[in-house]
């Protein structure tokens, strides 16, 4: 339950601030533009950073599925952030995604015995 609580209340919200609202806002400010092209560039750039952040540097391994999954979700969260002009909705999406994936893994391990 502690891990699921962490995923719900801490992991998603903190990662959305760190990987979505802050970098997208800074990219768009640096580009001094609010054009659709610049929005796409900033969302894809931050999604790549988000995907790379899911590489396990301690084991020197690249979980390809997890990196690709994070990249795709990073694009969805980024466009949600831009469209709503709020970080709340990507936070909710991210938290729910984490709880579902981690909870699903727990259920799998529980019933795989």
Mean pLDDT on 9-18: 90
Longest CA span, the chain: 56
User: Cα(80)–Cα(24) distance, rounded to whole angstroms?
Assistant: 12
pLDDT in tens, 29-75: 998 877 999 999 999 999 999 999 989 888 888 999 999 999 999 99
Judge contact between 36 and 83, C-beta under 8 A. no
């Amino acid at each position: 339950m502690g891990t699921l609580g962490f995923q719900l209340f801490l992991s998603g919200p903190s990662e959305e601030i760190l990987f979505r609202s802050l970098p997208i806002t800074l990219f768009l400010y640096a580009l001094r533009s609010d054009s659709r092209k610049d929005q796409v560039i900033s969302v894809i750039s931050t999604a790549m950073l988000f995907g790379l952040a899911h590489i396990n540097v301690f084991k020197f391994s690249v979980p390809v599925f997890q990196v690709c999954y994070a990249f795709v979700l990073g694009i969805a969260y980024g466009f949600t952030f831009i469209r709503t002009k709020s970080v709340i909705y990507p936070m909710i999406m991210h938290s729910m995604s984490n709880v579902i994936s981690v909870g699903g893994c727990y259920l799998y391990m529980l019933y795989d015995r």
